[in-house]
């Protein structure tokens, strides 16, 4: 079943715990430059949102890779085979969201691998800005939010 | 090394020479980091009696072993130097993202020495470090400076800087990092200004090594579980819901919220308008966390119309100082004044309290309109906002205010109206209704300070046990242990707010897993005692005595007029000897030789 780490941008408080936990999981060090999830922030007014790979079914990164190093595994997760990868960085350029990056310290391409099915960023986020769920029903929260606007008497459901 | 990076950066601003050197691991173990280790290094390298604004007063920016790790709320770094406001040791810490980034760049700290001829900033890009001209940002506020320096270095760079107040040597200038986080107190920004150092810009991609990753993960997850379900520090706890200002209504209820320069504490000041509940319900736009912090007490607030602002803050300490202490019940004033202070780089506590002292002197007929430029009665909102700007630029009466409330009072013949200890202003807690807070203020190593020991936790919140806040018996022991623990927590790089939710035993566990050095709870607290005594010895060398461990006469002699603490004064005399005794100090507050040896302080270069 395809899994999604869904971003809820409005909930992000800019604490960067997701970056911390991600880098610690992948390196055993506290090194946010190794994070697979990135917080983009407008610091002076405290706005921020995490961004990370959404695991495209028909992924541009995989399509452009000259070595065929990016493959889909269980749960629909796209992973990079570091033995095949030649670090040409074309995948980084092809990703429309900028969600693949080059780690300068280890000279490798890195992206979200959903931690093998138990994503650390989701577990540590104190704000509910990241949710791990089945991609097939991930739209429900958004639909529910808008449904309350369509059905103005929906408040009665909780009475 | 684990936890610590093991490397320091030394920057001589006179010669422009930049060097890297190893961190002494034995000293690191004993003094932990940040406040403790920074002070230890300062004492070795400087003459304690140095003029705070001379090139020989080194300015040390220091992180702790937990800074930038996954340890709970570990974003802090400390600025250490001799303080121009107090003449004591100055150690001021700040959260945000700057401290962690410095470690990712590969340094535990930076030692600045000498004085530059022209304005400069330091650009630290991992191992490439250079001094650059800051002529183009000199004269600019912290917001513009930060934006411009990020634009010309790296989009992921972190900045700390001074604003116009530091440049103009306002005695209580702050160093602002990440636009709204302040190493606020004791004038560390003034020292930075005297060195013509406008900013430090850092980008780092290196890692902090963890001694026992598996053990640390277990400890971290367990401690997070405790912290995140606590009523104060939890994900839906008081500090997240209402910010640091959660305490405002508790102080009002206890009758210890200072009103009108502590003159009218306990009288009705419409505290509901300025409470944390009101801040959240009326002014809050969103909340914000520092690096790695699940508490996320930061506030982004917005107001419109006159004195409009849209920025991070204000914190409790800004709200009381520009609020009830200045006779104000309009949240827009602390919001606007606090935002200006962040832009100019000014300590909001001393700023608000100094305006309050001036208002007190005005109403007593000591200051007049010709001198102050305003009908400076309590509650004059426009005057408050205007005087913040005048202070930053030392214009007119602002030049008097820029010296802090003690020197202001001294100039006009009434220093007793300065609500300060060792020339630094008190915080949001009237010690007449909180006996142990009075003892903590009086014995504070950097002057009056609430984060050297947050006694309201004990006397109002009942942490760790419920006590009688009007009693003096047994309070000396509480102050000692609170001060020692706060010294260790500061030095570790953790935020003091975690102590609402977890104990020093748990922080010691984090220390052990991260550094690989076995810290028991006792070791951790003893390091704090060592640091406290070291700071004390620094101050003694500068001629401070028992005479300086005192409170303003108003708080010792004039009972609170109304409210839940009506009729009380602070009875410092009943606690001070007991405190000295428990600390192993003589009647004059001098540590005994055996205490010095027991703490391993006999080799201090004082």
By the CB < 8 Å criterion, does B311 face chain A? yes
pLDDT tens digits, residue range B476-498? 999 999 999 999 999 999 999 99
Mutation to test the A interface, candidates B125, B234, B294, most A Cβ within 10 Å: B294
Cβ contacts (< 8 Å) between B285 and chain A: which residues?
Answer: 45-46
Report the percent of chain A where pLDDT is more than 70.
100
Q: Report the residue of chain B nearest A17, measured CA to CA.
A: B292
By the CB < 8 Å criterion, does B294 face chain A? yes
R_g over Cα of chain B: 22
pLDDT tens digits, residue range B520-546? 999 999 999 999 999 999 999 999 999
Three-state DSSP class for residue B201 = strand
pLDDT exceeds 80 at position B430: yes
Across the interface, of B104, B143, B210, the residue whose CB is closest to A28 is B210
Report the percent of chain B where pLDDT is more than 90.
100
User: What are B517's two structure tokens?
Assistant: 């050095």
What was the pLDDT predicted at A153? 87
What was the pLDDT predicted at A124? 97
By the CB < 8 Å criterion, does B310 face chain A? yes
Q: Report the residue of chain A nearest B311, measured CA to CA.
A: A45
| Residue A92 CB burial class (10 angstroms; 0-12, 13-18, ≥19) | middle
Query: What confidence category does residue B261 fall into, taking pLDDT thresholds of 50, 70 and 90?
Result: very high
Tokens 């142990």 label which residue? B436
Q: Report the residue of chain B nearest A126, measured CA to CA.
A: B294
Q: How many CB atoms lie within 10 A of CB A63?
A: 11
Mutation to test the A interface, candidates B6, B291, B308, most A Cβ within 10 Å: B291
Say whether A17 and B286 touch across the interface (CB within 8 A): no
| Residue extents of the structural domains in chain A | 3-55+98-154
Which helix (H) or strand (E) segment is B193 a member of? helix B188-194
Which of 1.10.3720.10, 1.10.940.10, 3.60.9.10, 3.30.428.10 would CATH assign to domain B7-203?
3.60.9.10
What was the pLDDT predicted at A43? 85
| Residue extents of the structural domains in chain B | 7-203, 217-413, 435-598
Say whether A30 and B311 touch across the interface (CB within 8 A): no
What was the pLDDT predicted at A158? 74
Cβ contacts (< 8 Å) between B311 and chain A: which residues?
Answer: 44-45
By the CB < 8 Å criterion, does A94 face chain B? no
Three-state DSSP class for residue A117 = coil
Q: Report the residue of chain A nearest B225, measured CA to CA.
A: A124
Asked if the interface predicted TM-score (ipTM) of this complex is over 0.90, the answer is yes
pLDDT exceeds 90 at position B140: yes
| Residue B186 CB burial class (10 angstroms; 0-12, 13-18, ≥19) | buried
pLDDT tens digits, residue range B55-73? 999 999 999 999 999 999 9
Three-state DSSP class for residue B287 = strand
What was the pLDDT predicted at B551? 98
By the CB < 8 Å criterion, does B43 face chain A? no
pLDDT tens digits, residue range B545-557? 999 999 999 999 9
Among B105, B150, B145, CA closest to B125: B105
Q: Are strands B175-177 and B181-183 parallel, antiparallel or unpaired?
A: antiparallel
What was the pLDDT predicted at B306? 97
Distance, in Å, from the CA atom of B112 to the CA atom of B60, rounded to the nearest integer, reads: 6
Across the interface, of B104, B210, B213, the residue whose CB is closest to A32 is B104
pLDDT tens digits, residue range B312-338? 999 999 999 999 999 999 999 999 999
Distances (CA, A) of B526 to B25, B268, B430, B449: 18, 43, 29, 21
What letter does residue B283 receive in the DSSP assignment? I
Across the interface, of A20, A28, A32, the residue whose CB is closest to B213 is A28
pLDDT tens digits, residue range B213-253? 999 999 999 999 999 999 999 988 899 999 999 999 999 99
Q: Report the residue of chain A nearest B291, measured CA to CA.
A: A15
Say whether B294 and A44 touch across the interface (CB within 8 A): no
Query: What confidence category does residue B157 fall into, taking pLDDT thresholds of 50, 70 and 90?
Result: very high
What was the pLDDT predicted at B237? 87
Say whether A20 and B312 touch across the interface (CB within 8 A): no
pTM score: 0.97
Distance, in Å, from the CA atom of B386 to the CA atom of B111, rounded to the nearest integer, reads: 36
Chain pair A-B, CB pairs under 8 angstroms: 95
What was the pLDDT predicted at B421? 98
Distances (CA, A) of B238 to A77, B277, B384: 39, 10, 30
Say whether A14 and B104 touch across the interface (CB within 8 A): no
Which range is least confidently modeled, A139-143, B59-63, B124-128, B164-168? Answer: A139-143
**Buried-exposed string B338-373: b where 16+ CB fall within 10 A, e elsewhere:** bbbbbbbbbbbbbbbbbbbbbbbbbbeeebeeebbe
CATH topology of domain B435-598: 1.10.599
Say whether B207 and A105 touch across the interface (CB within 8 A): yes
Give the mean model confidence (pLDDT) for residues A24-36. 98
Across the interface, of B70, B294, B296, the residue whose CB is closest to A30 is B70
What was the pLDDT predicted at B96? 97
Distances (CA, A) of B402 to A153, B391, B393: 58, 5, 9
Say whether B204 and A17 touch across the interface (CB within 8 A): no
By the CB < 8 Å criterion, does B561 face chain A? no
Distance, in Å, from the CA atom of B412 to the CA atom of B400, rounded to the nearest integer, reads: 10
Say whether A31 and B208 touch across the interface (CB within 8 A): yes
R_g over Cα of chain A: 17
Averaged confidence pLDDT in chain B: 98
By the CB < 8 Å criterion, does B68 face chain A? yes
Across the interface, of A16, A29, A47, the residue whose CB is closest to B292 is A16
Distance from CA of B308 to the nearest CA of A (A): 14
Give the mean model confidence (pLDDT) for residues B423-443. 98
Distance from CA of A41 to the nearest CA of B (A): 10
pLDDT tens digits, residue range B449-465? 999 999 999 999 999 99
Say whether A104 and B291 touch across the interface (CB within 8 A): no
Across the interface, of A29, A105, A126, the residue whose CB is closest to B210 is A29
Mutation to test the A interface, candidates B103, B205, B303, B513, most A Cβ within 10 Å: B205
Query: What confidence category does residue A157 fall into, taking pLDDT thresholds of 50, 70 and 90?
Result: confident
Q: Which CATH architecture best describes the domain B217-413? A: Orthogonal Bundle (1.10)
**B-proximal residues of A, 39-78, CB under 8 Å:** 43-47
What was the pLDDT predicted at B236? 87
Say whether A44 and B180 touch across the interface (CB within 8 A): yes
CATH topology of domain A3-55+98-154: Alpha-Beta Plaits (3.30.70)
Helix orientation angle between B475-492 and B573-583, rounded to the nearest 10 degrees: 60
**B-proximal residues of A, 97-136, CB under 8 Å:** 104-105, 124, 126-127
What was the pLDDT predicted at B63? 98
């Amino acid at each position: 079943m395809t899994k999604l780490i869904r971003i809820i941008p409005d909930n992000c408080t800019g604490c960067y715990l997701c970056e911390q936990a991600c880098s610690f999981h992948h390196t055993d060090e506290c090194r946010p430059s190794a994070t697979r999830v990135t917080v983009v922030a407008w610091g002076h007014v405290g706005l921020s949102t995490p961004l990370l790979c959404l695991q495209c079914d028909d992924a541009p990164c995989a399509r452009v890779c000259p070595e065929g190093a990016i493959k889909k595994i269980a749960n629909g997760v796209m992973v990079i085979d570091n033995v095949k990868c030649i670090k040409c960085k074309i995948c980084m350029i092809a990703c429309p969201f900028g969600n693949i990056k080059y780690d300068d310290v280890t000279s490798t391409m890195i992206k979200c691998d959903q931690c093998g099915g138990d994503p650390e960023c989701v577990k540590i986020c104190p704000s509910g800005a990241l949710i791990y769920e089945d991609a097939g029903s991930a739209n429900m929260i958004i639909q529910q939010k808008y449904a309350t606007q369509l059905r103005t008497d929906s408040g009665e459901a909780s009475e | 090394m684990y936890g610590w990076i093991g490397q320091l950066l030394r920057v001589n601003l006179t010669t422009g020479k930049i060097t890297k050197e190893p961190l002494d691991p034995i000293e690191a173990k004993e003094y932990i980091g940040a406040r403790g280790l920074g002070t230890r290094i300062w004492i070795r390298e400087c003459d304690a009696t140095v003029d705070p604004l001379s090139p020989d007063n080194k300015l040390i920016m220091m992180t702790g072993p937990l800074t930038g790790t996954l340890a709970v709320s570990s974003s802090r770094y400390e600025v250490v130097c001799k303080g121009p406001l107090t003449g004591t040791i100055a150690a001021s810490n700040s959260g945000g993202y700057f401290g962690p980034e410095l470690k990712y760049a590969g340094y535990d700290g930076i030692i600045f020495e000498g004085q530059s001829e022209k304005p400069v900033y330091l650009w630290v890009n991992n191992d490439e470090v250079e001094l650059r001209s800051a002529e183009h940002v000199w004269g600019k506020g912290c917001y513009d400076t930060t934006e411009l320096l990020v634009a010309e270095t790296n989009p992921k760079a972190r900045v700390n800087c001074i604003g116009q107040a530091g440049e103009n040597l306002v005695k209580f200038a702050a160093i602002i990092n990440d636009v709204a986080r302040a190493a606020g107190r004791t004038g560390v920004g003034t020292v930075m200004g005297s060195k013509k150092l406008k900013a430090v810009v850092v980008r780092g991609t290196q890692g902090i090594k963890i001694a026992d990753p598996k053990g640390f993960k277990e400890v971290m997850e367990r401690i997070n579980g405790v912290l995140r379900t606590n009523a104060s520090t939890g994900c839906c706890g008081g500090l997240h819901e209402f910010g640091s200002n959660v305490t405002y209504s508790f102080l009002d209820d206890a009758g210890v919220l200072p009103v009108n320069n502590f003159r009218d504490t306990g009288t009705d000041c419409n505290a509901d308008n300025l409470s944390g509940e009101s801040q959240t319900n009326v002014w809050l736009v969103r909340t914000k966390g520092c690096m790695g912090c699940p508490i996320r007490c930061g506030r982004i607030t917005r107001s419109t119309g006159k004195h409009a602002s849209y920025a991070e803050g204000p914190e409790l300490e800004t709200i009381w100082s520009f609020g009830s202490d200045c006779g104000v019940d309009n949240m827009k004033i602390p919001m606007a004044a606090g935002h200006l202070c962040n832009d100019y780089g000014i300590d909001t506590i001393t700023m608000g309290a100094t305006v309050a002292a001036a208002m007190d002197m005005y109403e007593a007929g000591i200051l007049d309109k010709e001198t102050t430029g305003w009908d400076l009665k309590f509650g004059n909102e426009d005057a408050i906002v205007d005087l913040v700007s005048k202070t930053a630029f030392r214009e007119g009466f602002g030049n008097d205010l820029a010296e802090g409330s003690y020197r202001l009072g001294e100039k006009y013949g009434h220093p007793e109206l300065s609500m300060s200890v060792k020339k630094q202003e008190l915080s949001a807690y009237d010690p007449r209704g909180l006996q142990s807070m009075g003892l903590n203020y009086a014995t504070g190593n950097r002057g009056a300070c609430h984060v050297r020991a947050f006694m309201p936790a004990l006397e109002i919140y009942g942490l760790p046990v419920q006590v009688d806040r009007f009693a003096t018996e047994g309070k000396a022991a509480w102050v000692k242990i609170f001060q020692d623990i706060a010294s260790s927590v500061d030095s570790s790089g953790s935020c003091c707010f975690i102590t609402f939710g977890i104990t020093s035993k748990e922080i010691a566990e984090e220390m052990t897993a991260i550094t690989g050095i076995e810290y028991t709870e006792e070791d951790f607290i003893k390091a704090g005692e060592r640091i406290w005594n070291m700071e004390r010895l620094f101050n003694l060398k500068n001629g401070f005595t028992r005479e300086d461990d005192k409170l303003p006469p108003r708080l010792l002699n004039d009972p609170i007029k109304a409210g839940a603490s009506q009729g009380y004064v602070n009875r410092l005399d009943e606690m001070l000897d007991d405190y000295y005794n428990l600390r192993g100090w003589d009647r004059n507050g001098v540590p005994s030789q055996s205490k010095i040896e027991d703490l391993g302080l006999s080799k201090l270069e004082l």
